[in-house]
């Protein structure tokens, strides 16, 4: 039976059990999950579960056995060249290609899920478990929360190892990448209400650190959830800048060529009695039968260098593997 997984701000992990009723619009009350792909192509993204439970932490009962293969550096190098060429021609300022490691083996979804139940609150579990396919992850990035006439969102961009935190705070390339995201978010939200931006800080997630800027909007009027999703997804942390039909089509093509799952970077949300929050589906493992995929993206701007981005992608993959179980690596 299908299951939906969502980690709340308080640390609870909510699981919805199927069968799910599918709707084009959110229900007026109760619990519903929002599931879509990166292109927002789902006509009925709202999934109302048959029942809901709150999971408790428990030790994983089995060990995964997955043989991972490294992504093809030549394929990434070709896409990287195309991205930087588009930047030099002034078509884009930034885009986010996604490299995907592939593996084959045995790993019960419940083992992956158990591993996510004891993570720090800053890493939010999420995912969808089907009969033969699904995805699970733990993301630090919230697309937005919409509650009581306010929007709460964040800019999360710029990455380094935790032991590089002293120099990271002064890294001009990483700061510029982060400010692309923060300023674009503010521009997208400024006509909806009064925007309050917090100072840029550093979010420490153990192996990785990121720049983070929290943003709040006091809305002028009620907004529809779907219109907010369409406005904010994808953030420049995962999408192109500027975001147009042309630049989105370019990014979609690069993602497909590098084997990226359609769900990676998509919004994944939970509605509970009028309080809606949607996560950004990164740091995931996707599976179909005994085939597994582990995607990771990198923000490419004018200052980006191929070797540095390849190194960052490997760092992100390692951090995802360590979330689930060190033996996955």
By C-alpha distance, which of 99, 98, 115 is closest to 107? 115
Domains and CATH numbers, the chain: 3-142+238-328 (3.60.120.10)
The yes-or-no verdict on residue 237 having pLDDT over 90 is no
- Give the whole-angstrom CA distance, residue 4 versus residue 32: 10
Q: What tokens does 49 get?
A: 């579960």
Local structure of 213: helix, strand or coil: strand
pTM: 0.91
**The pLDDT value given to residue 327:** 44
The 10s digit of each residue's pLDDT in 76-127 is 999 999 999 999 999 999 999 999 999 998 888 988 898 888 888 889 999 9
Task: Tell me the pLDDT of the chain averaged across its residues.
Answer: 92
What pLDDT does 62 receive?
56
pLDDT for 229 = 97
Query: How far apart, in whole angstroms, are the C-alpha atoms of residue 268 and residue 37?
Result: 9
Say what the pLDDT of residue 329 is: 44
pLDDT in tens, 36-88: 999 999 999 999 999 999 987 655 555 567 889 999 999 999 999 999 999 99
The Cα–Cα gap between 34 and 224 comes to 14
User: What band does 326 get if pLDDT is binned at 50, 70 and 90?
Assistant: very low
For the cut 70, the answer to whether the pLDDT of residue 21 exceeds it is yes
């Amino acid at each position: 039976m299908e299951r939906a997984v969502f980690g709340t701000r308080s640390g609870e992990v909510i699981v919805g059990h199927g069968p799910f009723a599918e709707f084009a619009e959110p229900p007026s009350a109760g619990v519903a999950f929002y599931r879509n792909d990166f292109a927002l192509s789902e006509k009925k993204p709202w999934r109302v579960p048959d029942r809901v439970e709150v999971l408790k932490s428990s030790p994983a009962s089995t060990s995964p056995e997955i043989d991972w293969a490294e992504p093809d550096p030549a394929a990434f190098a070709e896409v990287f060249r195309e991205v930087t060429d588009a930047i030099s021609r002034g078509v884009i300022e930034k885009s986010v290609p996604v490299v995907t490691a592939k593996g084959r083996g045995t790993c019960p979804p419940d083992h992956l899920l158990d591993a996510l139940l004891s993570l720090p609150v800053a890493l939010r579990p999420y995912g969808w478990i089907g009969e033969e396919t699904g995805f699970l992850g733990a993301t630090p990035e919230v697309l937005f929360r919409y509650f009581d006439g306010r929007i709460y969102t964040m800019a999360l961009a710029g990455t380094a190892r935790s032991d590089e935190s002293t120099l990271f705070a002064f890294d001009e390339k990483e700061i510029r990448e982060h400010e692309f995201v923060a300023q674009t978010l503010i521009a997208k939200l400024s006509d909806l209400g009064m925007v309050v931006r917090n100072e840029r800080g550093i979010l420490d997630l153990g192996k990785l650190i990121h720049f983070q800027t929290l943003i709040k909007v006091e809305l002028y009027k009620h907004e529809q959830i779907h219109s907010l999703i369409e406005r904010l997804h994808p953030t420049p942390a995962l999408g192109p800048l500027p975001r147009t039909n042309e630049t989105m089509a370019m990014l979609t093509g690069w993602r497909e060529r590098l084997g990226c799952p359609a769900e990676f970077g998509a919004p994944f949300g939970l509605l509970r009695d009028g309080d809606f929050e949607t996560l950004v589906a990164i740091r995931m493992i996707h599976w179909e039968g005994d085939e597994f995929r582990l995607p990771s993206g990198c923000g490419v701007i004018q200052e980006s260098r191929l070797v540095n981005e390849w190194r960052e992608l490997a760092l992100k993959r390692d951090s995802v593997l360590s979330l689930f179980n060190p033996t996955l690596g």
